Amino acid sequence: MNLLFKLVIAVATMSLSAHAMAQITLYEDDGWRGRTFSVSREVGDLKRYGFNDKASSIIVEKGRWEVCDDAGFGGKCMILQKGNYSSLRSMGMNDRVSSVRPVNPRGHYDNEAPQQTEPAYEYRRRPNEDIFQAQVTSVRAVYGDAEQRCWIERQQVNDASQNNIGAAIVGSILGGVLGHQIGGGTGRDIATAGGAVAGAVIGSNLGGKSGDSYSKDVRRCQTLPNQEPDLWDVTYNFRGYEHHMQTRHAPGATIYVNQRGEPRQ
């Protein structure tokens, strides 16, 4: 009897120890931004902490957690493994989490969400981290490579070259025949040659006016500079030291940092 009691106590202790190690952090915005709420124990109603229906992203740092859209672990619930969940929209839990609790890390659950292992947002605020303001001293916009934009347009083409050649030949023959009938001897030869030249010119002009016209697709391209910066190089000063960071958004006059001067957003 004493041995059985000791085994029960040992199992319970191990379970409580595993749950105590578990930790989850809820973020108010997508991408681990905004206000945070971090907990390492069961919370049956987030309304008591002002975080009911607020979470849009989650980081499970230890253990496995059940998140539910009703207080008291009711309604729709999902099991989250250790990982970084940048958005709860795909699982239908965005701004709906009302209760959270650690679960058996070795248990099998039908409502387990796919594990997300993408890197967490580097500048996210850590749980219980003190935040300070640092003065921004310079900002530089960084643009990416120029963008080439191409399109296809329809173009009319008048191909009169072949008609010109044919018309010139025909005009030359007719002009030579007519010239041959004028004059005699050397004069006739001169008239024949002149008639051929004149006929060729006239025939070429006439042929050019009656050339075939058709349309074809023409590819055209234009290189355009990027209108929006890819990122911003930011220099700021905190406690007498200069720091640098890169961000996707233009900063204000100050930024938030931790006690070591590391940026936090």
Please give the pLDDT value at position 123: 79
User: Distance (Å, rounded) from C-alpha 170 to C-alpha 193?
Assistant: 14
Query: What is the pLDDT at residue 147?
Result: 73
CA angle 32/131/38 to nearest 5° reads 45
* Cα–Cα distance for residue pair 125/32, rounded to 1 Å: 8
User: With contact defined as beta carbons under 8 Å apart, do 164 and 201 qualify?
Assistant: no
Tokens encoding 158: 């008048």
Q: What is the largest CA-CA distance in the chain?
A: 146
* Cβ-contact 99, 78 below 8 angstroms: no
pLDDT recorded at residue 120? 74
Q: Tokens 């991408």 label which residue?
A: 31
- Where are the CATH 2.60.20.10 domain residues in the chain? 2-127
pTM (predicted TM-score): 0.50
pLDDT at 4: 45
pLDDT, averaged per 10 consecutive residues of the chain (265 residues), comes to 45 40 83 84 93 94 94 96 92 96 89 82 79 93 79 76 49 47 49 47 49 77 77 90 85 91 84
Q: Which CATH number applies to 2-127? A: 2.60.20.10
pLDDT, position 53: 96
| Secondary structure E strands in the chain | 23-29, 33-39, 57-62, 64-70, 74-80, 83-85, 99-103, 132-142, 147-159, 212-224, 231-238, 241-247, 254-257, 263-264
Contact 30, 95 (CB under 8 A): no
Per-residue pLDDT at 32: 85
Find, among 47, 34, 240, the residue nearest to 137 by Cα. Answer: 240
Q: What pLDDT score does 211 carry? A: 54
The one-letter amino acid code at 34 reads G
The pLDDT of residue 247 is 83
Q: State the CB neighbour count (10 A cutoff) for residue 82.
A: 18
* Structure token digits, residue 184: 């005699």
